[in-house]
Structure formats: C-alpha cells, structure tokens
Structure 1
Amino acid sequence: MEGFGCEFDDSVFESFRERKAASGIKLGSYTAKLCEPRWFWGEICTADDVEKLTALKFRGDLAFKHQDYQKALCEYSSSLSLVPESNIALRRDLQEAQARCLCLLGRSDDALDIAQKLRSEITNTDHLTTVLNLDILIYRNAGNLFEELSCLQQLISMHTLNPWYWKKLAECYLGHAHALLSATVSVVPVCKDGRCLKMLEKSAMETATSETKGDCAQLQSFSRNPCGQVDCKRQINLIRNASRVENSGLTLKSRVVSSCSAVGDSTEVDLKRGQQLRDLWLFACSSFVRARLLLQMVKAQQASFVLERNLTVQEDIRQKLNNLELREEALNAISKVMAEDLLLDKFKNGAETEKPATFPSSSSLDCVTIESGSEFEQRWFKKLRNESFFCPIWK
C-alpha cells in the first residue's frame, strides 16, 4: 500500500536518453590546455593581464624557492602592479611575499612597513594570524626578541591548541634567558678598571626591566649565533649553570660583582635578575610541555610523514626538557596545569597538525581576546609561579 505523497514519477524509470546538441550541432570533446614545464619563465607574449600576472607570480615563487630573493621581489612587485583593486586576497598575498623577500634581504624596516599596512587592513582572525606570522619572521631575523615574544603570545592567545606556536614560544623564552646571561657576561672583561661596578649595574638593571625596545636591541647580538639562528643547546647550558648558582643564593653577576669588591644595592639587582631567570626558565619548560601534550593528543589521528614529524618533534622536546633538568615533581605539576583546558571532545572531529584553532575560520576579531606580555603570562603561568615546591625546581 502506497502512502500519500510517496509515489515515484514514471520518468524516474525511463531509459537514459543521449543528450543532443541544440540546432543539430555535434558537441566536440574538451581539450585541456597543456603547459610545458616552466612555461612562465620565458618571454611573456600576451596582452591578457591575468595570464601575465599569473606568470609573474609563478616566476617570483620559483625564484623564492631558489633563494634568489632579489629576483623574487622584482617579480612580485611587477605582478602586484597588475592586480585589480577588487582582488584583495591576491593583493595581500603578494604584499606578504614582498615583505618576506625584504626581510630575507636584510631590509627589515621596509618589511615592517608592509606588515604594518597589512595590519591596518585586517578584518578577521585569518588576516591577523597571517600578519603575526609575518611579524615573527621579521623580528626573528632582525634579532628583536622582545617584539617576537609579544607576537607569539598574541598568536597563541588566538590559537591555544597549536603545538608549533608553543614550541616557538619556548625557544623564544630560552633566547631571552640567553640574552639576559650574555649581556652580563659580555662586560666581565672591563672589570679591571675603576668603572666596572657602574657598568655592571647598568647592564643588569636594563636587562631586568626590559621596558623598551632599545633594551632588547642591546641584547639581540648575544641571542644569535653568526648564522642568525638561536643556539638552543648553548642557551640551555648557560641558563642551567646560572640557575644552579641562583639556587645557592648567588647569580652569575653576583660573582662578577663580588670579584670587583662591589658594594651597595647590587644584591637587590641580583635577586631581581635571578627571579627573572627563574621565570624565563619556567615559562620555557611550560611551553615545551604544552607543545608536547598537544602533539600527543593528535598523534592517534595521524599517519605517514605527518606522524613521523610529530614523533620527531616530541623527541626533540623530550631531549630539551631533559637538558633543562627539571625535578620530576615540577615536571608533573607543569604537565597537570598546562593540560587543564585540554578536553578530548575538542579533538573528536580531527585536528590540524599545522594550524589547529579554537574558533571557526575567519571569525570576527571581536570574538577573540588578544593577549601579550604580563596578561598572557598571568593567564598561563600564574599557578606555576605560585607553587611552593618550585623552589628549587631543578635537579
């Protein structure tokens, strides 16, 4: 018995009839356009602006891949001049490419000008994420640890479940700690003259406050090796040695000042510097732990080279935490605190390995809270800093 409204139309069961072209014209087969390898590399002989724009952009991409950044910059600039005003997405993409080329050519100020222009035009969180990643690259290559740290904190305040951002944050904290140590060590040779004490006090006070960009500019040369990359192994060794001295009631600077027969308020400066070193150490460890926890949670959903990379990074983090020599109790407490917001239901629908997010893509900027500096550290590390058994926190 058929229910009302459930009958099938007879046309559903009719045999398939071959489509016929209108007016009796026979339809021809579609022939795809074939492009030779590097078809865009030769002379561009076309009046079509779209095809010319595409070829120039591809040229820039290939030159960038081959690390010919000057050539890439020229091609991107030529391509940008052909982009219509209505194509905002492509225009932003090319401007970002220009900024990356300028950054890698050592023209950080010009790159920052473009980044600032992009920032002034952001309308959603995707735009802001792109600009922050660009800023991080520029500041890292310029050696500006203070601004790099601020951008990473802002980025993580939006993408709290991204393990790669947390790992970068941990390395940035290590860079700050290394700069803090190196700034003091660098003035040791001048301790033989009568102005030694004054110079040391100024260096320590500037390092302890870090309130201006100028402070970080003075430290940047100590936080990079000649190749411009952070030497994490050396950082870990320096910070670990300084932390052991701090645990015994003296800092590295205390010993230097003591050797110069220093008197006065140096003890207060030493305590401030020792506390800052301890905080930087703790923040770095906590960020590494957070990154490892996030990688562990998505591991079951990964395979092939993605899983391989996950395991490789986890092992790298394990080794760095081992080198940092946290006590077992402290490491367990950090893991517990940094995992408080990690609920399994957030990962039921899958998680991206490179860019997981806690909100829908392209959401309004009003939907998120952007934090940096003390607000960020208060949110993520307040409980850890208040734990009584964190003194001492090292083995």
Structure 2
Amino acid sequence: MELGLEFDDGDFTEKVRQTETLTSYNAKVCHPEWFFSDRADNGRNDMATVYKFRGDYHFQRENHKSAIHCYKNSLDRLGEHNRTMRRELMESLARSHMKTGEFQASQKYVENVFIDCLTPENYCQTFLLQQQLYNNSRDILNELGVLQKLITLHPVNAQIWLKLVHVYEKISQSLKLQEDNSKNDTNDETKKFANVSKDNENEEITKNSKELSCEKCAMNAKRCEENHVCTSYDSLKQSNTQDTRVDLIGPHDNLKESKDDSGETSVASLQEAKENVTNHIDIASLRRSITEYPIDLMLLTCYIRVRLILSCVQGTVGSFIKDKNVQLVAEMNSKIEDLNVEEKVMEIVTQYINRDMFEDETDFADNKTDSNQDVKATMDNLITADKFNKRWFSWIKEIP
C-alpha cells in the first residue's frame, strides 16, 4: 500500500535562502483641503466621499447652506448599497437644516434615517437626533415622547434623565404660567365689573368693544364694526376668542412651512409630514399623562434618580468626569431642596428608587426587546406614555 512516505532527494540537500529585496514605500499624503483641488475632481477619487468632506468642512465653519449643497451632491452620487454612509449623510443634512431653522426639511431626513435603522443602537442614535430636532423647534410633547423611548432603551443613562428633567421643568413652568394667567384674568375681570350692574353689563361690554375696535378710525365707528375693516377690530376679536391658557406646544407647531418653486405652500406635503411624525408618538396620551401625576413629584423622581446614577458611577470614571458629576449632584440636591417636599415623601421615593435599582432584579417585559421579533416592529411599538408613567412614577400612588 503506497502511503507516499518515502524521502525525496531534496530533503537531504541544503536549501539556499533567497533574500528578498526591499523596495521603498511612498506613503500617500493628503494635503490640507485636498478635496477642493482640481485633482480631487479629475482624479480617481470617489466623488461621494469628496463632496462629503466638503460638506463637513462647511458645516464646521457654520456655512450650513453650502454644507447642505455638498451633502446632497454626495447623496446623489452614493451607491445604493452603502447604507452606513447614507445614514451619515442624512443625519448631516438633518443637522444642517436644523441649524438654518428649516425644521420640516430636517424632519424629512430624520424619517429617512429611521428607514435604515437595523438595530436598537441605530434607533437610539436616531432618537437622539430626533430629540435634538424637537428641542430646537420647541416641540415639547414630541420631545417628551422621544425621551421616554430613550430611557426605556437605556434606563441608567444619567444624561438622558437630565434631558427629561429639562422637559419636565419646561412643562412645570408652562403650567405655573397658565395658572398665574388664569388668576390675573380673574382679578382683572373682578375689578373691571365690580361696580357694573347686571342690567348694564352687556351694554358696557359693547361700548368698550366699539372703542377698542376703532382706535384707528374713531370717526367711522359704526361702519368699522359692521364691515370689520379695521385691523384693530380684528385684533380685538382675536383676543376675545383666544384661550388664555398657555398650551404645551403640539406636533410641529413651530416648524416652518415648506414652499414649492412658485412660492406657494404645499398643503399636502405639510399634512403628510405631520402624519408621519405622529405615527410613533401618541400626543393625546402624552397630554393626559402630564396631568396624571403631580409634576413636582415627577421632577423629584428624576432628580433623585440622576443623583443616584451619578453617585454609582463615580468609582469608574476619570477625574474630569468626577468633577462634573459632583457639580451635577450638587445641582440636583439644590433643586430637591427648592421643591420643599415633606420628609415622609422623600423617604417613600428614596426607598422606591433604591429598591428598583438595586434589589429588584426583575424587569418589565415591555422594556425588553425580543431578539426573535422584527427589530423595527419592536421599536415602533416600544412603549406608551401610560406604561412609562406606571413604570417610573408608580410610587406616587403609594403616598397616603
């Protein structure tokens, strides 16, 4: 049986090692701003990458209009299968439009980024971009909805809880301003009509309306009121019918309207954009959730949780992070003192958060992502405002 184990003559001869000749290596050197040179346009460079570098250059120098132009050129020249770079370009376009105040155009690119999300990490990054958009456009409710999803993904991230603190503080200020306006309106009405009898009340109001409506055309008072031709009459009518409440900003109330080439606003595009935005966030549920619990106790929960998270990571961070965390903890302590919460309430919330973070190992099933399910479907149905409040603020119900 032949096994091929016999020796060859070459096994007994001395092998001569061949020395390899070394050749010089010329490293490629990129000159400053090489992407603006004629060689970049006429060479073998990928033009999508060249335009992206140009867009980043203009963005860093706050020349956002030029950055948008370069990013769009890069996106047009990008291959269909380069999903990573496409997401990066759309994020850059969203931030550039955000800087120029074109919030609706920025929202369009944010929605396109969501289409390319494949993992929870992709969604988290896009949620942060969306939160930045809502923050700049002062869309409080949508920003609140995005932060609730982010906290569900990363419940021990102190920075996200701090963002939620800022949103709740804005809501608290809005509610207090609403209450103060209601009191002022009541006092003004009481002073105004205290000495007016019920029989003359309607006549007095009509007289005042005529005087106010015709402050610019007093000679034609009757004609002005009948024909409604005076601008001051229109402003009076608007002030009389306007609700004195300070409403929280709804979806995209501050977004700029998009216009077509003729300069006219496209109603269909506005409606379509608003529908796309509200698909993932239930605004009605958010409004209801704000009034479900006292806003001061919700803020107290956030303050204590931020303070506890920062204290837990002090031993694992660098010195410069420690100094910043110490300042944030001191800030949280100061805000807790300003709330003037009873000692009994402080004990309840502290025990609840300690038990939630350290003792209770079980987590809510709604907060976990099932790897067997489609990631996009799971993230779209991540959480609701009611479930969020029940998860993090249920201790308020325990207060006797």
Partners of 2:90 and 2:112 within 8 A in 1: no
Distance 1:383 1:53, change over 3 A: same
Larger Rg: 2
1:317 aligned partner = 332
Q: Structure 1: which amino acid aligns with 2:128?
A: N
Which is bigger in relative contact order (C-alpha 8 A, separation at least 6)? 1
Q: Structure 2: which amino acid aligns with 1:34?
A: V
Pick aligned residue for 1:104 from 82, 99, 124 = 99
2:384 aligned partner = 372
Distance 1:44 1:284, change over 3 A: farther
1:290 aligned partner = 305
Name structure 1 gaps, 5 residues minimum.
Answer: 1-16, 219-272, 347-356, 389-395
Task: State which drifts further: 74-83 or 291-300.
Answer: 74-83
Deviation string 1:303-345 (CA, Å, 9 cap, x unpaired) is 1333333223223323332333333443343233223343499
What is the deviation of 1:299?
1.2
Percent of pairs with identical residues: 22
Distance 2:329 2:60 in 1: 28
- The reply on whether 1:81 has 2:118 as its aligned counterpart is no
1:160-199 matches, within 5 Å, as 160-186=155-181, 188=184, 191-192=188-189
Deviation string 1:109-128 (CA, Å, 9 cap, x unpaired) is 11111112222332221221
Distance 1:74 1:278, change over 3 A: same
What is the deviation of 1:296?
1.3
Partners of 1:115 and 1:131 within 8 A in 2: yes
Distance 1:98 1:166 in 2: 27
1:210-229 matches, within 5 Å, as 213=250, 217=253
2:202 aligned partner = none
Distance 2:334 2:35 in 1: 46
Distance 2:35 2:324 in 1: 34
1:186-335 matches, within 5 Å, as 186=181, 188=184, 191-192=188-189, 203=244, 213=250, 217=253, 276=291, 279-335=294-350
RMSD: 3.9
What is the deviation of 1:281?
1.5
Distance 1:101 1:127 in 2: 20
Partners of 1:151 and 1:372 within 8 A in 2: no
Deviation string 1:170-204 (CA, Å, 9 cap, x unpaired) is 11011111122223445646944779xx9899555
Distance 1:378 1:173 in 2: 16
Deviation string 1:61-91 (CA, Å, 9 cap, x unpaired) is 2332333222222222222222211110110
Distance 1:67 1:147, change over 3 A: same
1:48-59 matches, within 5 Å, as 50-59=45-54
Distance 1:201 1:97, change over 3 A: closer
Name structure 2 gaps, 5 residues minimum.
Answer: 1-15, 194-204, 206-238, 255-287, 362-366
Q: TM-score, normalised by structure 2?
A: 0.63
Partners of 2:87 and 2:116 within 8 A in 1: no
Q: Aligned with 1:40: secondary structure?
A: helix
Q: Aligned with 1:283: secondary structure?
A: helix
Distance 1:54 1:294 in 2: 41
2:355 aligned partner = 340
2:258 aligned partner = none
Q: Aligned with 1:146: secondary structure?
A: helix
What is the deviation of 1:376?
0.4
1:28 aligned partner = 23
Deviation string 1:147-184 (CA, Å, 9 cap, x unpaired) is 10000001111111111001111110111111222234
Distance 1:312 1:88 in 2: 41
Pick aligned residue for 1:136 from 131, 134, 137 = 131
Task: State which drifts further: 306-315 or 139-148.
Answer: 306-315
Q: Structure 2: which amino acid aligns with 1:373?
A: A
Q: Aligned with 1:213: secondary structure?
A: coil
Distance 1:20 1:322, change over 3 A: farther
1:147 aligned partner = 142
Distance 1:297 1:365, change over 3 A: farther
Pick aligned residue for 1:157 from 152, 155, 175 = 152
Deviation string 1:116-142 (CA, Å, 9 cap, x unpaired) is 222233222122112211111111111
What is the deviation of 1:367?
6.9
Distance 1:166 1:52, change over 3 A: same
Distance 2:321 2:17 in 1: 47
Distance 1:104 1:180 in 2: 29
Q: Structure 2: which amino acid aligns with 1:317?
A: M
Distance 1:371 1:19 in 2: 68
2:398 aligned partner = 386
Distance 2:103 2:30 in 1: 37
Q: Structure 1: which amino acid aligns with 2:395?
A: K
